[in-house]
């Protein structure tokens, strides 16, 4: 087995066999039904078998990663057209063609965040990224397969001992170095482990330690990070299809209850993220970050500030502040009707929720306003 075989994306030679296995997986079939135009078939007898046959027909001509990504690009395009009320983006003047970057992003949706960036990179004839994914999402083999088909690599944080955890993180660190500096392949990575369920986008210094791990004894923080060429990414959604799931999890933790993921929770989050209505969506790309301080904490703060400066607030953010009676500093150019419509949506969304859960859901939307007011 080669050095990165356990974590790397799949290669062209593996694509067809992996797709054949996935086409008969009942969870994949269920996700395909709920996120596609074939939703109406769900109530028919033998619908799973029928969809499996449809999938097998669709994949027969997919033999390379590029073939697969072209199909995935069409799905993202359909999602933008049908599940958003508008998609804006900026900052492509900050990217040089044929250069590999370490794109570091805020994280709101498991699949959609990196998919939007790769969709835009492909549309602009730029190199698409290898996507860093934690193995906490890999409790199901199908999830690992789907992500590795789409140029994802695995960061393994779940070793049984400290030594195993270290080895997993060290391998991921080495893979990032190999991708960017040796193979000229860009990387997408979230600024911290897991999505920002409270709407606060902060960079975890531990993530930066992991990135530096392979060279921590030989290259300084600044020299190494500047060589990787960090590019900040900020993605914002007017509405989050998973906001209730996130609020429920935070509420359980606030009540000092142990939060246990259900078997299908990640599947449901992925499906909801793709198929749910998102309102206005924006993705902004910043200029390369220049690191000057030999500190993971200071570097994390610099990245956080860079992402927050790029983050575009949506009508829902201000509507949530209005519902909470939270004062805010940032001005906005949204019309009264846009704010009103977002408020109606949030009030309907939170209707019937327990007060504590409702408050946490609204905080997901109001916190970005509060955080930007600190700049």
Q: What is the pLDDT of residue 25?
A: 81
What is the C-alpha separation between 155 and 194, in angstroms, rounded? 12
Decide the pairing of beta strands 130-134 and 187-190.
Answer: parallel
The low-confidence residues of the chain, meaning pLDDT below 50, are none
Q: Which residues does residue 134 pair with via DSSP β-bridges, in sequence order? A: 155
The HSE-up count of residue 361 (CA atoms within 13 Å, CB side) is: 23
Nearest to 133 by CA among 141, 117, 144: 144
What is the C-alpha separation between 159 and 174, in angstroms, rounded? 17
Please state the separation of Cα 268 from the chain's center in Å.
15
Per-residue model confidence as pLDDT tens digits over 37-72: 555 555 555 566 766 777 788 788 899 998 988 888
Percentage of residues in the chain having pLDDT higher than 70: 90
Residues 6+ apart with CB under 8 A from 109: 195, 237, 240, 242, 273
Beta-carbon count within 10 A of 11 CB = 11
User: What is the Rg, in whole angstroms, of the alpha carbon atoms belonging to the chain?
Assistant: 21
DSSP 8-state assignment for residue 143: H
What is the C-alpha separation between 196 and 24, in angstroms, rounded? 33
CA distances from 34 to 113, 137, 277 (A): 20, 20, 13
Q: What is the pLDDT of residue 313?
A: 97
All domains of the chain in start order, with CATH: 63-240+249-312 (3.40.1130), 313-375 (no CATH)
Q: What is the pLDDT of residue 212?
A: 98
Per-residue model confidence as pLDDT tens digits over 226-253: 999 999 999 999 999 999 999 999 999 8
Three-state DSSP at 321 gives helix
What is the C-alpha separation between 364 and 3, in angstroms, rounded? 40
């Amino acid at each position: 087995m080669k050095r990165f075989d356990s974590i790397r994306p799949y290669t062209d030679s593996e694509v067809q066999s992996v797709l054949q296995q996935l086409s008969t997986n009942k969870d994949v079939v269920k996700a395909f039904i709920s996120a596609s135009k074939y939703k109406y078939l769900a109530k028919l007898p033998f619908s799973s078998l029928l969809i499996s046959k449809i999938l097998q027909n669709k994949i027969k001509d997919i033999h390379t990663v590029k073939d697969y990504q072209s199909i995935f690009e069409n799905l993202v395009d359909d999602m933008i057209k049908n599940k958003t009320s508008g998609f804006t983006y900026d900052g492509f003047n900050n990217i040089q063609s044929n250069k590999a970057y370490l794109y570091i992003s805020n994280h709101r949706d498991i699949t959609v965040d990196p998919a939007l960036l790769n969709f835009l990179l492909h549309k602009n004839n730029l190199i698409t990224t290898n996507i860093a994914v934690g193995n906490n999402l890999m409790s199901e083999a199908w999830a690992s397969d789907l992500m590795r088909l789409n140029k994802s690599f695995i960061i393994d944080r779940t070793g049984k001992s400290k030594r195993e955890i270290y080895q997993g993180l060290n391998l991921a660190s080495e893979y990032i170095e190999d991708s960017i500096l040796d193979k000229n392949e860009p990387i997408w990575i979230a600024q911290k482990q897991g999505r920002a369920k409270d709407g606060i986008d902060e960079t975890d210094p531990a993530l930066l330690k992991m990135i530096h791990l392979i060279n921590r004894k030989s290259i300084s923080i600044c020299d190494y990070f500047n060589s990787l060429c960090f590019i900040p990414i900020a993605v914002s959604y007017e509405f989050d299809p998973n906001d209730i799931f996130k609020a429920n999890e935070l509420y359980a933790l606030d009540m000092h209850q142990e939060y246990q993921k259900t078997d299908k929770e990640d599947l449901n989050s992925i499906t909801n993220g793709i198929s749910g209505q998102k309102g206005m969506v924006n993705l902004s790309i910043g200029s390369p970050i220049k690191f000057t301080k030999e500190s993971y904490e200071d570097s994390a703060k610099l990245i956080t500030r860079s992402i927050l400066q790029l983050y575009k607030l949506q009508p829902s953010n201000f509507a949530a502040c209005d519902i909470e009676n939270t004062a805010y500093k940032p001005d906005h150019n949204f019309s009264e009707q846009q704010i009103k419509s977002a408020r109606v949506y949030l009030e309907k969304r939170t209707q019937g929720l327990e007060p504590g859960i409702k408050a946490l859901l609204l905080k997901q939307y109001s916190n970005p306003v509060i955080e930007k007011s600190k700049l």
